[in-house]
């Protein structure tokens, strides 16, 4: 049985308002909710720019992982939701840059095209599972 060890909050006000935790740590594994490209004021970053949105998401993920003593090297699995697979071509560059900067292998991953995400300006959402 999974034992929740800790809830991790990245944007506490947003998480409280929407009723979720950014991540849950259980049995040495970190399960991170889908992250979108937002700033602390909940404004979308990089509207219309897949590269900027993906880069922003990996910066947020990297920061959250670092607070747990982890990095992208600890990511085992990621799921990527995109509203336009063709636009993700530039997003892949930002992903490769993030993993290269962390000297990490890209994890097992799944990419799914969806009709819509949080708001129409959101082009991509990424969730991860990392081993502590």
Calculate what percentage of the chain has a pLDDT beyond 90.
Answer: 66
**pLDDT tens, position by position, 24-64:** 888 889 999 899 998 878 899 999 999 999 999 999 999 88
* pLDDT score at 4: 64
> What pLDDT is attached to residue 40?
76
Find the mean pLDDT for residues 82-102.
94
pLDDT at position 105 is: 92
Sign for the CA dihedral angle at 80, 86, 89, 90 comes to negative
pLDDT band at 2 (very low <50, low <70, confident <90, very high): low
> What is the reported pTM?
0.90
Mean pLDDT value across the chain: 90
Q: pLDDT value at position 109? A: 96
* Residue 1, pLDDT above cutoff 60: no
Is residue 43 helix, strand or coil?
coil
- The helix/strand count (H/E) of the chain reads as 3, 6
Residue 72 pLDDT > 80: yes
Phi/psi at 90 (nearest 5 deg)?
Answer: -75, -30
């Amino acid at each position: 049985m999974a034992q929740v060890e800790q809830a991790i909050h990245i944007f506490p006000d947003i998480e409280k308002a929407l009723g979720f935790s950014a991540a849950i740590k259980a049995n040495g594994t970190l399960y991170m909710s889908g992250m979108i490209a937002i700033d602390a004021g909940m404004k979308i970053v990089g509207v219309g720019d897949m590269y900027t949105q993906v880069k922003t998401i990996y910066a947020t993920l990297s920061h959250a992982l670092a607070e747990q003593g982890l990095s992208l090297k600890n990511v085992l699995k990621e799921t990527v939701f995109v509203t336009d697979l063709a636009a993700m071509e530039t997003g892949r560059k930002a992903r490769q840059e993030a993993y290269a900067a962390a000297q990490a292998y890209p994890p097992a991953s799944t990419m799914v095209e969806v009709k819509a995400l949080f708001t129409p300006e959101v082009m991509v959402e990424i969730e991860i599972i990392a081993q502590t």
